[in-house]
Amino acid sequence: MLFSSISFAYYFLPLVFAVYFAMPRKFRNLVLLVFSLFFYFYGEPKYVFLLLLSSAIDFTVSLVINKHRGTKAAKRALLCSVLMNLSILIFFKYSDFFIANINALFGVNIPLLHIPLPLGVSFYTFQTMSYAIDVYRNDAQVQKNPLDFATYVSLFPQLVAGPIVRYQTVADQMTERKHSLEGFAEGAARFVMGLGKKVLIANALGELNKTALTTGNQSVLMYWLAITAFMLQIYFDFSGYSDMALGLGKIFGFTFLENFNYPFIARSITDFWRRWHISMGTWFREYIYIPLGGNRVPRWKWIRNIAVVWFCTGFWHGAAWNFIVWGLYFGVLLTLEKLFILQWLEKIPRICRHIYCLLVVTVSFVIFHLETLPGIWGFLKGMFGFGGVPLVNAESAYYLNSYKIILLAAVIGATPLLKRLVMAARANVRLERVIHVLNPVYTGGLLLVVSAYLVDSSFNPFLYFRF
């Protein structure tokens, strides 16, 4: 069930609200658990047992760790958690990748398993595993109530596409959280804003990207339209989903950490990755990079640590070589930035730093988007005018003109310009009152427009379900 669907917004969600707020506080986690499991079952009925299995493993393992803290039994329990969760992830996500590469390498013909990828498996296995690690480190208190822990793992706002919520972030909120009309209104506005980003901008950009990729009449402009549309589609798709998750969390009394912070205004790749998919970057830093020694090791080990983290980051995104290349591409660039590029960037104008970052990020999305290395190379050559590709043709000019408004809206929306204008207006007492009155009108109007688009359109993909 997509957040950006009529069935979710007008059937599932109102029913959850009605039951949740009608129940006494002590039953509200149970309500969330039941509806979250139904939400997952609706989209992935075959694999709901995996979600429960992952929850049961780490709930039990953490009790053992807590009971035998400081002993070999605790270490063995932690190892069990890591191995079991990684086994689930590897089997369901990477089996065919390994089989296909073994077949190619050794000339054998092992049949592919064709296992469907369970929704959210990359997120909830990391989430439950990090809980067990935090309990072992004594960074989180062990949860002794299995229903509360299962609620944390399966919580539908963040279940299938994050953000990756560490248990210690919401531990207190699992039992004591505040609900208010103001919090509900704030959460609802954030949800509708995310819904608008997804439906009105990301979906339109997805159509442009699909058209630009499949046309047989290519030009340099068409290549740039395709990758710009994809890059912005990914951002508005995923940041919109994160907005919806944070908004729903707010409605139910949870405060999740922000997952995006205007990454396209970054002035270096290091800065970009502090702003993009923050929860994922934090996870890899806390549970792989720092345990390997971080940057407090000899230089060669530090470079190794970055390579390991970015290999894992790329592979986490998908079972294909382009994702591995994509991860290592960023690993090399981040290493070079820390060695000397950041010092060089400080000496050049700010606009040049932005151009450098955007160019590097754009190339990365080509690698991310296209599955084959020849396809990536061919696309990059086309982008920069090699191979006799014309700069502009009638078709690319037509699509640029047709999508110019949505592209402009996407570019402006990817910056904090509108947010700063609203904050400046709120500094004025009179304007603050006007905004306070108009905000629910704007939210309601946006919801109606989005609903009309959802009813009328059949194109409503969510890209991160692939990962």
Torsion sign (Cα): 407, 240, 43, 18:
negative
The whole-model pTM stands at: 0.92
In-domain check, residue 253:
yes
Same domain, 336 and 453: yes
Active-site annotation, residues: 317
Residue 376: both structure tokens together: 């990536």
Q: Do residues 151 and 175 touch, judged by C-beta distance below 8 A?
A: no
Give the residue from 136, 3, 121 showing the smallest Cα distance to 52.
121
* CA 105-110-115 angle, 5° bins: 110
Residues 157 and 172 in one domain: yes
Q: In this structure, are 169 and 236 located in the same domain?
A: no
Q: Where does residue 296 rank: exposed (0-12), middle (13-18), buried (19+ CB within 10 A)? A: exposed
Highest mean pLDDT among 98-112, 147-161, 208-222: 98-112
If one counts the domains in the chain, the total is 2
Burial class (CB in 10 A: 0-12, 13-18, 19+), 393: middle
Mean pLDDT confidence for 436-459: 84
Beta carbons of 279 and 238 less than 8 angstroms apart:
no
pLDDT reading at 313 higher than 80 = yes
Q: What is the pLDDT of residue 117?
A: 86
Q: Which amino acid is at 113?
A: L
- How many helices, marked H, and strands, marked E, lie in the chain? 22, 0
**94-98, 206-210, 214-218, 327-331: least confident range:** 214-218
- For tokens 């699992």, what's the residue? 174
Q: Is 321 in the same domain as 410?
A: yes
Domain-ending residue, one of 177, 203, 218? 177
What are the pLDDT digits (tens) for 267-296? 999 999 999 999 999 999 999 999 999 888
166 and 308 belong to one structural domain: no
User: Is residue 1 domain-resident?
Assistant: no
CA dihedral 190, 18, 37, 114 (to 10 degrees): -60
Q: How far apart are CA 256 and CA 169, in angstroms?
A: 7
Token match 């062990």: residue? 142
Residue ending a domain, among 138, 160, 177, is 177
**Which structural domain range is residue 151 located in?**
6-177
Confidence class for position 402, pLDDT limits 50, 70, 90:
very high
Q: Report the alpha-carbon distance of residue 350 to residue 21 in Å, rounded.
A: 50
pLDDT at 73: 93
Share of the chain above pLDDT 90, in %: 68
* Beta-carbon contacts of residue 132 (< 8 Å; ≥ 6 apart): 58, 61, 62, 65, 77, 78, 81, 82
Q: Is the pLDDT of residue 246 over 90?
A: yes
Q: Within a 10 A sphere around the Cβ of 74, how many other Cβ atoms?
A: 19
Residue 268 shares a structural domain with residue 235: yes
Both 366 and 254 in one domain: the answer is: yes
For residues 99 and 215, membership in a common domain is answered with: no
Cβ proximity of 220 and 174 under 8 Å: no
Mean residue pLDDT across the chain: 91
pLDDT band at 354 (very low <50, low <70, confident <90, very high): very high
pLDDT in tens, 95-127: 999 999 999 999 999 999 988 888 888 889 999
Percent with pLDDT over 70 in the chain: 98
Asked if residue 354 and residue 218 are part of one domain, the reply reads yes
Same-domain status, 56 and 197: no
Q: Which residue has the tokens 């382009």?
A: 322
Same domain, 71 and 157: yes
- Residue at a domain's end among 159, 177, 195: 177
Please state, in angstroms and rounded to a whole number, the distance separating the CA atoms of residues 113 and 111: 6
173 and 127, same structural domain?
Answer: yes
103/255 Cα distance (integer angstroms): 47
CB-CB contact of 16 with 248 (8 Å): no
Mean pLDDT, rounded, for 174-186? 89
Q: Is the pLDDT of residue 140 over 60?
A: yes
Judge contact between 188 and 443, C-beta under 8 A: yes
